[in-house]
A and B are shown apart, each in its own frame.
Chain A
Amino acid sequence: MIKFQNVIKKYNNADTALNGINLQINHGEFISLVGLSGAGKSTLLKLIIGEEQIDGGSILIDDIDISQVKKSDLPYLRRKIGMVFQDIKLLPKRTAFENIAFAMEVCGHSLEKIQEEVPKVLELVGLLHKRDSFPHEMSGGEKQRVAIARSLSHRPVLLLADEPTGNLDEVNAGEVLDLLLKINQLGTTVILATHAADLVNKIKKRVITIKEGKITMEQEKGKYKL
């Protein structure tokens, strides 16, 4: 599904963030991307959604070379890829329902479709009862689950999670992880970038370790190792 071929990414033409990444990710996989801060995990995710441009090599998603995708077509690529972040990025003045509806609205979905789809994704993340709550009325874990619901509203084939549990306590982090695993079971490929060792150890799925812009270790059903 996703193929990294000798991918190089430099910032300001000097700092090499990624240095010769070769990686293949298949449909339906759950990948934990581990490494210290600044190792290049976030950069790798940003390259997949076209937020950053590569400086060498190629990235193929279903045989489409991302570097060849026109800037004006990137939005359509992003609709196929869900993304969640450590800082959650919910709109504070909108309810859980409205936050998800907003994402669907800006992509041109009709009102009927929005009314139909939003309760479904809220139910999937177990927050249908919080549909009218504002972000400040929810816990960190609940907010992150709303953000995940938002990223699922386009029914993406791939979900990228960049430190989604970074700001959460153990219980909330566990809930978010369970949700990501559930989404994976439903068929969506998930890439989780994290440095939460205990979570990774619980997953028991493929683990890729990145250090100083290079893949240093790959384990099937692995554990958190640097």
Chain B
Amino acid sequence: MLDSISFLRIIKTGFVNFWRNLWLSMAATMVMTITLVIFSTLFLMFMLTNYSIHTIQNTVDISVYFKIGLAEKQIASIQKSVESDSRVKEVTYVSATEAFNDFKDKHQNDPLITQSLNELTENPLPATLHIKANQLGDYPAIAQNLEKDQYKQFIDKVNFEDNRLVIERLGKILRFIITFGLGLVIVFAIIAILVIYNTITLTIYNRKEEVEIMRLVGATNWYIRGPFLTESILYSIFSTIITLLFLLPIFVKVIPRVVGYVNPQISFYSNNIFNFWILILMLFVLALVLSITSTTMAIRKYLKI
């Protein structure tokens, strides 16, 4: 096992290697950074689009406004028949009285409205049903069904806001991000692996004499390999830090705006849709996997132990 003196010496040699081939190290770090930036940007776009789709999907429903004064019994039978439709996920009934009270509560601070309401002798608001479908594509059919003649005498209006187009478009963007983005990430990951592989190979070549002597005088295999692995871990650390600096303004400025636009009711920071530190950790792990893979390949091929 490595003792602490050897461990510190390995780390130190790793830093020295990084510093001695500064230009190469910078190139390796930059390529890794580009890979991480592309990955994180695509990841964020994916998350935002996905989030938008879900949010918009949740806002879609069909509102059925009954004619004023319709008997509760009649409404209950219509609700039952709607609920029996397998495409329907959920039906919420809001009676005329509830609607009236809600409206009153909502505007209790507005004296003009309160006064007008007090002057009314009967409730002007209709009873309503709010219907949610299992699938987005089911809404038009459910809405059409309610517009049939058998319901006409009971139902005043069927209101259905068709957001399908927006959702479909977002879905397309999502698919594009997944296919194109994944391809791009893979291409850059391969480039990063190749650049790091070459950098480490050059470092091994530069230290050929030292490595030979180390072997002969009895340095352990880990002592010989350690500095090269340290060097590649340094690429990961530095590239993650640079990517973090790039992402910070996006997180502070851009994402809250997008989230606020899609769903004004929630505060970006009050929920955990995007955890910045988990993303950074993911990036660091990705960087580590890439750099250690390529370094191990270079060590296996060129470092004779």
The finding on whether chains A and B are genuine partners in a shared complex, rather than unrelated, reads: yes
A residues at B contact (CB < 8 Å): 49, 71-72, 75-79, 83, 89, 91, 102-103, 105-110, 150-151, 153-154
Contact B220 A72 (CB under 8 A): yes
Which residues of chain A are near B9, meaning CB under 8 Å?
105-106
| Interchain CB contact (< 8 A) of A75 among B5, B209, B220 | B220
For residue A151, which residue of chain B has the nearest CB?
A: B217
For residue B212, which residue of chain A has the nearest CB?
A: A89
For residue B214, which residue of chain A has the nearest CB?
A: A106
Q: Which of A89, A103, A108 has the most CB of B within 10 A?
A: A108
Which residues of chain A are near B219, meaning CB under 8 Å?
75, 106-107
Complexed CA–CA distance, A76 and B219 (Å): 8
A–B complex contacts, Cβ < 8 Å, 5 sampled: A75-B220, A89-B216, A108-B3, A108-B5, A154-B218
Chain B interface SS verdict (over half)? helix
Contact with A along B223-242 (1 / 0, CB 8 A): 11000000000000000000
Which residues of chain B are near A154, meaning CB under 8 Å?
217-218
For residue B216, which residue of chain A has the nearest CB?
A: A83
Contact A78 B213 (CB under 8 A): no
Q: Contacts A72-B221, A108-B3: A78 and B214 contacting too (C-beta < 8 A)?
A: no
Contact B5 A102 (CB under 8 A): no
| Interchain CB contact (< 8 A) of A79 among B2, B217, B224 | B217
Contact B210 A107 (CB under 8 A): no
| Interchain CB contact (< 8 A) of B217 among A71, A72, A78 | A78
Contact B210 A78 (CB under 8 A): no
For residue B305, which residue of chain A has the nearest CB?
A: A71
Complexed CA–CA distance, A153 and B216 (Å): 13
B residues at A contact (CB < 8 Å): 2-3, 5-6, 9, 209-210, 212-221, 223-224
Give the A-B contact count at a CB cut-off of 8 A: 52
Which residues of chain A are near B213, meaning CB under 8 Å?
89, 91, 102-103
- Not counting A78-B215, A108-B223, A151-B217, a sample of 18 additional A-B residue pairs whose C-beta atoms are within 8 angstroms of each other reads A71-B221, A72-B221, A75-B215, A75-B220, A76-B218, A78-B216, A78-B218, A89-B209, A89-B212, A102-B213, A103-B217, A105-B9, A106-B9, A106-B214, A107-B217, A108-B2, A110-B5, A154-B218
Contact B216 A91 (CB under 8 A): no
Q: Which of B3, B6, B216, B220 has the most CB of A within 10 A?
A: B216
Which residues of chain B are near A153, meaning CB under 8 Å?
217
Q: How far is the CB of B210 from chain A (nearest CB, A)?
A: 6
Complexed CA–CA distance, A41 and B34 (Å): 54
Which residues of chain B are near A91, meaning CB under 8 Å?
209-210, 213
Which residues of chain B are near A109, meaning CB under 8 Å?
5
Complexed CA–CA distance, A71 and B2 (Å): 16
For residue A77, which residue of chain B has the nearest CB?
A: B218
Which residues of chain B are near A76, meaning CB under 8 Å?
218
For residue B217, which residue of chain A has the nearest CB?
A: A103
Contact A75 B218 (CB under 8 A): yes
Q: How far is the CB of B223 from chain A (nearest CB, A)?
A: 6
Complexed CA–CA distance, A77 and B221 (Å): 13
Q: How far is the CB of A158 from chain B (nearest CB, A)?
A: 13
Which residues of chain B are near A77, meaning CB under 8 Å?
218
Contact B216 A108 (CB under 8 A): no
Q: How far is the CB of B216 from chain A (nearest CB, A)?
A: 6
For residue A83, which residue of chain B has the nearest CB?
A: B216
Complexed CA–CA distance, A106 and B222 (Å): 11
For residue A108, which residue of chain B has the nearest CB?
A: B6
For residue B223, which residue of chain A has the nearest CB?
A: A106
For residue A102, which residue of chain B has the nearest CB?
A: B213
Q: How far is the CB of A81 from chain B (nearest CB, A)?
A: 8
Complexed CA–CA distance, A4 and B239 (Å): 54
Q: Which of B2, B212, B220 has the most CB of A within 10 A?
A: B220
